[in-house]
Structure 1
Amino acid sequence: MSDDLLHTSLYDLHQRSGAKFVPFAGYAMPVQFAMGVKREHEHVRQRCGLFDVSHMGQILLHGNQAAMALEQIAPIDAQGLKTGRQRYGLFTNNNGGVHDDFMAVNAGDHFYLVVNAARRSADLVLLQTGLGEDVEIEVLEDRALLALQGPEARTVLSELCPEVGEMIFMDHRRVEIEGVPTWVSCSGYTGEDGYELSVPKEQAETLAQRLLSFESVEPIGLGARDSLRLEAGLCLYGHDLDETTTPADANLGWAIGKARRQGGEREGGFPGADVILTQLANRDSPRLRVGLQGETRTPVREGTLLYDEADVEIGQVTSGTFGPSVGAPIAMAYLERAWTERNQTVYAEVRGKRQPMQVSAMPFIKPRYYRG
């Protein structure tokens, strides 16, 4: 492991817990623990897992015009976001491509953003050049980010802080958990009920150890995080999204706020609006992100080319693995529009052989987000 890699505040705890590390977005991150990726995946689906996601970027936007300014660089309905609520958003470029995806919280007197680790620097440049002088940008370097995910996450965290038990999907609150000031969002990246917890770095290990003291909670690495999010149909930037992918390509039209695309004074006004709104209105993007499920047991990986029965190339896999909860190979791919109807068969070229896969609904599992 390179000495140049950054460490999160839980690195020592991960070492003591038997983590295997890999480089990820400039950090040494745990890819798995003693249970192994498959058992970690199953544990999150059945009980509860604790993830270290402190490599993600955390940013505050201060100023009365923060919501309006954010809408100038992203097609999010920031002005319509109620205090204490969170929303998924996209930064877009002038060609309609996705610069990054992020989460935004209306925290009352400011906005709180969580952005992808690998895009943090690029996002900061975008914010600094696009928001204007009326918005103050504060990059949080002193906070860690944990994720507690799984069907028992609510029971575990409610024992330490009863008020979080009332939170529904995409709620955000600031609470104290056993003396640790914590920003809690009811969200995650697994398709399960759960929470993300932003805490001061110096108190992160204390809270993590307290959560791991519960019999139902196990540490979970990036390997299981990836298979969990893929089963949940959630995109990973740099794989399923990039600067050449439009929201229409990615089937993410729902992430464009209605107020930004249905007429009125707030329609458009964000980078690439002409391209994006035209594609959404006409439903004419040439390719679409779809789910694929294998008809054999052979996993299909990122970069695998896809063909029709006539041996014509029609697309490419962007994420793929064996889905432990599905019991079959699963993948996300971009296919030519004519091949995106469900139950059609396409063929993935794996080691010189064509493996049949069916176009499938996504997510591959039924999400269990708690909506009250």
Structure 2
Amino acid sequence: MSTLQPLRRGISLLGARSLASQAAPVVSNGSRQALRLRSPATRRPVARFGPALRHLQARFASSEAASKTQLYDLHVARGARMVPFAGFAMPLQYSDLSHVESHNWTREKASLFDVSHMVQHRLSGPGAMELLMKVTPSSLDKLHTNQSTLSCLLEDGTGGIVDDCVITRQGEDSFYFVTNAGRRQEDLAFLQTEIEAYRGANGADSIKWEIIDNALVALQGPLAASVLQPLIHGSGAEADLTTLGFGNSRTLYLTLPDGSRTAEPLLISRTGYTGEDGFEISIPTTTPTLPQQVVDLFLANPDQVRLAGLAARDSLRLEAGMCLYGSDITTAQTPPGASLSWVVSKDRRDPSTGNTNFNGSSVILSQIASPAKTLSQRRVGFTVEKGSPAREGAIIVDLNDESRTQIGVITSGLPSPSLGGLNIAMGYVKQGMNKKGTEVGVLVRNKVRKASVVGMPWVETKFYRP
């Protein structure tokens, strides 16, 4: 397995933030209706959102006033509907495109998402590698500089998933990683405990941990590279994005309208949470105007790039089969329990390597070795018959059991905009009912709806590999 294979496989399964959805308009032959675009200046009523939005806001809402990202004022000026999310005021959608239009725009062109609410970390020092390899099941020692892997922070003892994250090696003993906004307090407490224990055994200078106050935006869609490439300042191999593959990053400057370069370089990583080709761009805030300058560069051509919010982000990630922490994965699941065994690198399963000592390894490795004996349920995808979608919390039952015994639960679900409103969902079913083609029932509004177990993703991922 190559160093980045876990990321290449895994980015189609994990991720971080979710919102509501609605069915895409269809024409008589069932194909998706052509996208009717409005100019950015046009104002339209914002669509109503149902249970998924209420579930999400309830999960991450705080009694404290919502924080603002560095781009808050831009969102308001651009007609965003702002909602409380993971302790931040975040854009749900914008006035120029409906949710479905924004979703389809991302699949066909390029969208820009503000993800500055996510937590950016830097861990460095002689103990950084050892600490991260204790709290994750990844072979971080196999990563080259500027390479990434998708991973999980694991609870000690149980192996439960504390959070999912993307980790980038930036040097011999330096790592950059991003964790979920909705798990900010839990992650910080978890990392603080682990780091203090390590320092206690190895010295205060063994690890340096920083929370980076950068803005973070995600440029996603088939036009992402062609939009970004002309903005790269300079020339040569480093400036050529055709040599930057999925799961890799570079530190580059962008060119401002006057021909000068940005005040500081940006960390540009080829990754994302939509299934499309794209980039996540970490923007320093030492120069306070830099985030706005960068976003203005991307939005200079509205025929190619539009802003997109949480609503489109959720439907895009689910079509790509990516998990939402708090819904599809929690500390109640280990990676094998969540059908995510691939995050456990092969050499971390082999006792002969000496690398099998990580949080929860005894539990996780036994589950990988004997899943039928150790796992009671599996995470799978479903298509659900026409009608109201199966949302988070919907009960899954055995169609062959007249008593309708519960055999699982839906964790995410919505009508797929890319598939003409087809109802898709993911969830957990008991061991033995997880094979593709298995028919089950889902309780939706007190009615049993037929569903079939299917493979994921529903929409093929388009990650760029040179």
- Looking at structure 2, the residues matched to 165 and 147 of structure 1 have their Cα atoms a distance apart, in angstroms, of 18
CA offsets, 1:98-129, max 9 Å, x none? 11110100011510010011212222222222
Which residue pairs with 1:317 in the alignment? Answer: 410
Which residue pairs with 1:213 in the alignment? Answer: 300
Aligned-CA RMSD value: 1.4
Which residue pairs with 1:275 in the alignment? Answer: 363
- Looking at structure 2, the residues matched to 251 and 286 of structure 1 have their Cα atoms a distance apart, in angstroms, of 12
After TM superposition, the structure 1 = structure 2 runs for residues 174-189 of structure 1, keeping only pairs within 5 Å, are 174-178=251-255, 179-180=261-262, 181-189=265-273
- Looking at structure 2, the residues matched to 266 and 44 of structure 1 have their Cα atoms a distance apart, in angstroms, of 44
CA offsets, 1:226-282, max 9 Å, x none? 000000011111111101011112111111111211222433211111111100111
Aligned-pair CA distance for 1:294: 1.5
Report the AA paired with residue 44 of structure 1. T
CA offsets, 1:8-56, max 9 Å, x none? 0111100011100111110000011121211110000010000000000
- Looking at structure 2, the residues matched to 28 and 293 of structure 1 have their Cα atoms a distance apart, in angstroms, of 33
After TM superposition, the structure 1 = structure 2 runs for residues 118-267 of structure 1, keeping only pairs within 5 Å, are 118-131=182-195, 132-133=198-199, 134-141=206-213, 143-161=214-232, 162-178=239-255, 179-180=261-262, 181-201=265-285, 202=288, 203-214=290-301, 215-267=303-355
Which residue pairs with 1:16 in the alignment? Answer: 77
Report the AA paired with residue 181 of structure 2. A
Q: Residue 68 of structure 1 contacts residue 79 of structure 1 at CA under 8 Å; is this kept in 2?
A: no
- Unaligned runs of at least 5 residues, structure 1: none
Task: Say which SS state the counterpart of residue 134 (structure 2) adopts.
Answer: coil
Aligned-pair CA distance for 1:92: 1.2
Report the AA paired with residue 280 of structure 1. I
- Greater Cα shift, 112-121 or 2-11: 2-11
- Greater Cα shift, 236-245 or 128-137: 128-137
- Looking at structure 1, the residues matched to 415 and 78 of structure 2 have their Cα atoms a distance apart, in angstroms, of 26
Give the aligned length. Answer: 371
- Looking at structure 2, the residues matched to 84 and 246 of structure 1 have their Cα atoms a distance apart, in angstroms, of 28
- Looking at structure 1, the residues matched to 340 and 136 of structure 2 have their Cα atoms a distance apart, in angstroms, of 13
Which residue pairs with 1:86 in the alignment? Answer: 148
TM superposition score normalised by structure 1: 0.97
CA offsets, 1:284-308, max 9 Å, x none? 3111110011121321100000111
- Looking at structure 2, the residues matched to 26 and 98 of structure 1 have their Cα atoms a distance apart, in angstroms, of 21
Which residue pairs with 2:426 in the alignment? Answer: 332
Task: Say which SS state the counterpart of residue 59 (structure 1) adopts.
Answer: strand
- Greater Cα shift, 189-198 or 66-75: 66-75
* 1:49 equivalenced with 2:111 (yes/no): yes
Q: Residue 96 of structure 1 contacts residue 276 of structure 1 at CA under 8 Å; is this kept in 2?
A: yes
Q: Which has the larger radius of gyration?
A: 2
Report the AA paired with residue 174 of structure 1. T
Which residue pairs with 1:111 in the alignment? Answer: 175
TM superposition score normalised by structure 2: 0.78
CA offsets, 1:190-235, max 9 Å, x none? 0000000000232111101110112210100001100000000111
Aligned-pair CA distance for 1:318: 0.5
- Unaligned runs of at least 5 residues, structure 2: 1-60, 200-205, 233-238, 256-260
- Looking at structure 2, the residues matched to 367 and 319 of structure 1 have their Cα atoms a distance apart, in angstroms, of 19
Of all paired residues, the percent bearing the same amino acid is 38
Task: Say which SS state the counterpart of residue 339 (structure 1) adopts.
Answer: coil
Aligned-pair CA distance for 1:167: 0.9
Report the AA paired with residue 366 of structure 1. E
- Looking at structure 2, the residues matched to 297 and 352 of structure 1 have their Cα atoms a distance apart, in angstroms, of 13
Task: Say which SS state the counterpart of residue 234 (structure 1) adopts.
Answer: coil
Q: Which runs of 4+ in 1 moved over 6 A?
A: none
Q: Residue 350 of structure 2 contacts residue 356 of structure 2 at CA under 8 Å; is this kept in 1?
A: no
- Greater Cα shift, 232-241 or 67-76: 67-76
Q: Aligned to 1:359, which of 433, 453, 461?
A: 453
Which residue pairs with 1:288 in the alignment? Answer: 378
- Looking at structure 1, the residues matched to 99 and 224 of structure 2 have their Cα atoms a distance apart, in angstroms, of 19
Aligned-pair CA distance for 1:67: 1.3
- Looking at structure 2, the residues matched to 235 and 3 of structure 1 have their Cα atoms a distance apart, in angstroms, of 27
Task: Say which SS state the counterpart of residue 101 (structure 2) adopts.
Answer: helix
Aligned-pair CA distance for 1:3: 7.4
Report the AA paired with residue 253 of structure 2. E
Task: Say which SS state the counterpart of residue 363 (structure 1) adopts.
Answer: coil
Q: Residue 68 of structure 1 contacts residue 78 of structure 1 at CA under 8 Å; is this kept in 2?
A: no
